[in-house]
């Protein structure tokens, strides 16, 4: 599978809210999976995103919902493409978010940060 074969969407096409709560049966929820490293996550991330660093995804796969709309994001798109390939291989319908969190911030999408500093990606 090449990057051109990986399902991808722009940051504008990603749903606006991720509350990670159960939905009524038949109503798929959307998950934004952020696969960046801890330090990147702490600087800023999308509200409601789930954080699992790329290297930890195989060990933490049970934290993901096979029935959810799963959007995968990293800083600029390289790691998320690889994670989408892996998730597709193990049975998920995963979608890469093109341009990653850099494009997210450039598009003016909401950001939050851990601690008492202003959220920023770059």
What pLDDT sits at residue 114? 84
Specify the CATH number for the domain of residue 35.
3.40.250.10
Mean pLDDT of 95-122: 95
Q: Residue 38 sits in which domain range? A: 3-12+27-106
Q: Is residue 42 in some structural domain?
A: yes
Mean pLDDT across the chain? 90
Q: Which residues contact 54 (CB under 8 A, 6 or more apart)?
A: 35, 36, 74, 79, 82, 83
pLDDT of residue 28 exceeding 80: no
Residue 74 annotated as catalytic = yes
Q: Is residue 111 in some structural domain?
A: no
Percentage of the chain lying above the pLDDT 90 cut:
80
Q: Is residue 21 in some structural domain?
A: no
Q: Which of 21, 20, 48 is nearest to 34 (CA)?
A: 48
pLDDT bracket for residue 1 (50, 70, 90): very low
What pLDDT sits at residue 63? 96
Which of 72, 74, 84, 87 is catalytic? The answer is 74
Q: Which has more confidence, 44 or 24?
A: 44
pLDDT of residue 44 exceeding 80: yes
Q: Is residue 50 in some structural domain?
A: yes
Q: Is residue 7 in some structural domain?
A: yes
Split into its structural domains, the chain has a count of 1
Mean pLDDT of 10-15: 95
């Amino acid at each position: 599978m090449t990057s051109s074969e990986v399902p991808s969407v722009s940051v504008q096409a990603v749903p606006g809210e991720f509350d990670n709560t159960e939905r009524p049966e038949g109503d798929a929820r959307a998950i934004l999976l952020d696969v960046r490293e801890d330090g990147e996550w702490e600087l800023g991330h999308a509200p409601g995103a789930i954080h699992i660093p790329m290297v930890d995804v195989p060990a933490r796969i049970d934290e993901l919902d096979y029935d959810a709309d799963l959007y995968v994001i990293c800083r600029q798109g390289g790691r998320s493409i690889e994670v989408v390939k892996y998730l597709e291989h193990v049975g998920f319908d995963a979608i890469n978010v093109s341009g990653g969190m850099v494009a997210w911030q450039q598009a003016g999408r909401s950001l939050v940060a851990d601690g008492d500093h202003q959220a920023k990606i770059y």
